[in-house]
Amino acid sequence: MTTNENGLREGEIDIINNFTRRKLAPEEVFVFSLVLCDNEIDRDHERFSEDALKKLETLFCGVTGVTDHDPKAGNQTARIFSCRTEKVPGKKTSYGEDYVRLTARAYMPRTDGNSEFLMQLDSGIKKEVSVGCSVAKRICSICGCENGSCGHVRGRTYDGKLCYMTLDEPTDAYEWSFVAVPAQKGAGVIKSFKKGAVDTMDIEKRLFSGTAQSFTADELNILADNFRTLKEKAADGEAYRRKLEADISKQAAFALPQLKRDTLDFMTRKMSAVQLEDLCKALCAKAAKNVPLRPQLCAEDKKDNKKYNDYKNI
């Protein structure tokens, strides 16, 4: 196959020009190859099926990619103009099938601003790619169950067999990008799933992994929803806490009149809601004993309440 100095193969400029607003001359573009994904089990213990890779050939065609995650570096945009799956002769996957990968050809306009980036590409420095796509099915390698309903855990072994998920029936391919630091842990293929079939446990695991992670738009929506719910719950919890603290403060004035307000505040600040409830009950009981004529008593303390009524009836 012949290529010119821009990496262009014969006939490719015509394909590229199907994607451009105006016809570009061969010297105006830079073309390169990349491997988008394959059927090997990745570090998330997932792999694409061969059928999925075939379908992604079409889905990734025309998709633009950001070629640098670092916003300060000035993002470079390239577009995939052709994709194909290929078997690598003699290479097998870890589970014994023929190794298949999805390769793509991408172009970007040659400008003064991207010459350094193009040099890096030429020298093979920037070569790890992450992709964003949605799949409808994830199939368990242990039992064939779909979308995680079986409870088998990826990465664990069951009777000597590794559990991994086969990603099947891709529905959308929406991004690809070069990973800024190729050796970075967590780099590689990033997948998301159709809404409703999203593995939220997996998203959370990545969120708390302590390493740099990328999230798809769907995953970010889920994280944002969870965050909103937690914030609402936290606000409710905070209001309940303030009410308990106010009750404690009131009861303590009767039960432990010598106790300074500052000391009490210091104690309650460190307590959980359950501990605050306990303290509140104990103070109520004590306050009732100390001040039987107090007009309001804790509802929980029926015995002391009775005493109060008895006292009143004398």
Site residues (vs Zn ion, CB under 5 A): 140, 142-143, 145, 150, 152
Nearer to Zn ion, 153 or 271 (CB): 153
Taking residue 70's Cβ as centre, other Cβ atoms within 10 Å add up to 10
How far apart are CB 52 and Zn ion at their closest, in Å? 19
- The C-alpha atoms of residue 244 and residue 83 are separated, in whole angstroms, by 63
Min CB(264)–Zn ion separation in Å: 54
Nearer to Zn ion, 158 or 311 (CB): 158
Question: Could you give the count of Cα atoms lying within 13 Å of 222 in the half-sphere of its Cβ?
Answer: 19
- Sign of the dihedral defined by the CA atoms of residues 251, 252, 255, 257, in that order: negative
Pick the closer one to Zn ion by CB: 140 or 222: 140
How near is the Cβ of 40 to Zn ion at its closest, in Å? 20
CB of 161 to Zn ion, least distance (A): 11
Output 84 or 156, the one with its CB closest to Zn ion.
Answer: 156
3-class secondary-structure state, position 7? coil
CB of 138 to Zn ion, least distance (A): 10
Interior CA angle at 151 toward 150 and 154, to 5°? Answer: 110
All residues at 6 or more sequence positions from 185 whose CB lies less than 8 Å from its CB, including other chains: 43, 211, 212
> Cβ closer to Zn ion: 83 or 140?
140
Nearer to Zn ion, 164 or 178 (CB): 164
Query: What minimum distance in Å lies between the beta carbon of 45 and Zn ion?
Result: 12
Handedness of CA 183, 57, 88, 123 (dihedral sign): negative
Residues facing 66 on adjacent strands: 77, 177
Q: Which of 223, 298, 222, 217 is nearest to 254 (CA)?
A: 298
